Chains A and B, each alone.
Chain A
């Protein structure tokens, strides 16, 4: 999970610009002394394991058969990439990513508009309400949605009996489309506040004069939205989309709780988890983990290079 970062730390204190070389060296040392621990910790708990995973993925290694460990080079990758289970997990993950991000963008934008223009009196109430899903534990959200739809404990079937298909006998978690529907609903509910806060930040950057000028020119609400607001928010929207897409691509908690990947709901993260942690196939599981990592890398790369999304913001 990350936050809005379009506002890169930019302007420095005047003194920091003093061109004294001794001072520069001293600052550099102090800078690294202060920033170093955080930097090292971040590297240690992410880079080291991913290198280890890369190494493990070249072996056939099962935790409960430690003596049969053998070097198989890229065999694990061939197995994974050629497997229908992997392909299906990849497609499901992409589907969830695209749908949730698209829906969240719409709802998130609406929420951001409400937060931005609601009367001061109600601002606190609205913010509080929106922050509840943001702060709530994903697993709790998963259970809330699961119990609402579950055939035994749910009330959704009772409420929406008048719809076709749905009735007291409809098992939401018995087939792919309906199970994915509930999984995505929970994911959307939980993470929309995040996207709407990013968009709120973007809204605040829309120059008010432009809007006023458009108003004077007789532009209606929709026209102003379309011609002024959205174009000036482009950067914020792109950042929000990329961050959420990367997050959605790693979806795990909701699927684990609701279906554990049954009936065509398995995602890449869950497949990686099940292979290495549940099946204890460290080698094969590491291969899936590495592939997942590469996918995320690819998305970030495409976003930055192709769509020119400035995630880090500003200059170097």
Chain B
């Protein structure tokens, strides 16, 4: 380092490197057909492929470029809401997580879809996704793909525990099975959106609802957390936490971490979105897990809370919306119509593992072949119940996430405490 020429050489390398970086920075856009921007959530590249496909099919009417949103739903909402509030004119097409639709629809950030587009795009839509695309009884977005959680299980574990998986199982049953077999239960204990998904699924399965009353105003919201259904949910979550059934990493475990745990030695039962299955298959092909693990995996609908009451599985997915400040709304709706066609939904389901919102898409033999669980998914979507629809969803959800984690601290007081906490947050009396 002390030899002068040496240092000089390094110095010129540094300067050259920076110079090259700067030059690389000077890229420019070129014109052409109407440029549409589609803000997409991360996937396996399927939405980008659809963007190209529909651009080509438009015969030069429009060209869709995609812009990637962050990984988790809350950050996606944050980015979109801030851009919309900023009056961004490029919000042509947005992939929206359904729970956040009311918050964006209420202040008029979303353009109203033309009636004929709605008619053509929603005629085969399953009930759950259809509801999730509306706000106050009107379509404000177009359903694209739907998603639901199913119960994955390891056949070997279920067999050893003596569970008949052809019949609906309860949370109590799988908890007992995991405990006796000394395995981990695949749940999501991270302080994140997945926690709300879990709590909501349990409460809805027990016959309750997190949000009741006038969901449109902060003062009008009635919370159904402190109820019999809420107590049952707290008992299940608290029990799993208490006994450590979720595994050691439960406090920071999200959906993908649960998926990894499930395909390990300690996997038993797991509630999760279907994408974890293709991920496991890919891991087997890559050689990081054994094929026998894949053969051991099976699935059924979400577990019940009460043995005699039908379960209410979580529903998720993505709707497509158009920003009210978009300069190319007409082309955007045309593009959306192309994107959500049943054929595209089924090909997207095959390529990216995200289930279609259109019932027709499931009839595609390719879907049935690539997605052995497609029948379970369709069944689940039939009985699935969405998360609370309110412009204050973020407050409700974050409030739940903060009061229901870590799950080993959840007890019989949790529902009441969380209800009080969220109420005071909504009234502006407490901070999140």
Contact = CB atoms under 8 A, between A and B. Distances in A.
A285 B105 CA distance: 23
A284 interface: yes
B2 interface: yes
Interface residues of B, number: 32
A271 interface: yes
Contacts, number: 90
Contacts of B250: 171, 174
Contacts of B394: 278-279
Interface in B399-432: 405-406, 428-432
B1 interface: yes
A263 interface: yes
A65 B252 CA distance: 32
B2 A124 contact: yes
A152 B251 CA distance: 12
A60 interface: yes
B191 A64 contact: no
Contacts of A280: 78, 81-82, 85
Nearest to B261: A152
Contacts of B106: 64-65
Interface string B314-332: 0000000000000000000
A173 B253 CA distance: 11
Given A124-B2, A279-B395, A280-B82, A174 B430 contact: no
B81 A63 contact: yes
Contacts of B235: none
A170 B82 CA distance: 38
A128 interface: yes
Nearest to B432: A279
> Range of interface residues on chain A?
35 or more
Contacts of B74: 278
Nearest to A174: B251
B260 interface: yes
A63 B1 CA distance: 54
Given A124-B1, A280-B81, A284-B428, A64 B107 contact: yes
A279 B190 CA distance: 19
B234 interface: no
Interface in B110-142: none
Contacts of B78: 277-278, 280
A275 B406 CA distance: 22
Contacts of B398: 279
A89 B81 CA distance: 26
Contacts of B391: 64-65
Which of A262, A284, A288: most chain B CB closer than 10 A? A262
Contacts of B405: 262-263
A85 interface: yes
A125 B106 CA distance: 60
Nearest to A121: B2
A65 B107 contact: yes
Interface in A119-160: 121, 124-125, 128, 150-152
Interface in B234-276: 248-252, 257, 260
Contacts of A169: 248-249
Interface of A: 60, 63-67, 75, 79-80, 83, 85-86, 121, 124-125, 128, 150-152, 168-171, 173-175, 260, 262-263, 271, 274-275, 277-280, 284, 288
25 contacts: A60-B428, A64-B103, A66-B85, A79-B428, A79-B430, A83-B430, A85-B431, A86-B431, A125-B1, A152-B249, A152-B257, A169-B248, A171-B249, A171-B252, A174-B250, A174-B406, A175-B406, A262-B190, A263-B405, A277-B82, A279-B394, A279-B398, A279-B432, A284-B428, A288-B431
Given A125-B1, A263-B191, 10 more contacts: A63-B85, A79-B431, A85-B431, A152-B249, A168-B248, A169-B249, A173-B251, A174-B250, A278-B394, A284-B428
Q: Ordered nearest first, which 4 A-B pairs have the shortest CB separation?
A: A169-B248, A174-B251, A124-B1, A151-B249
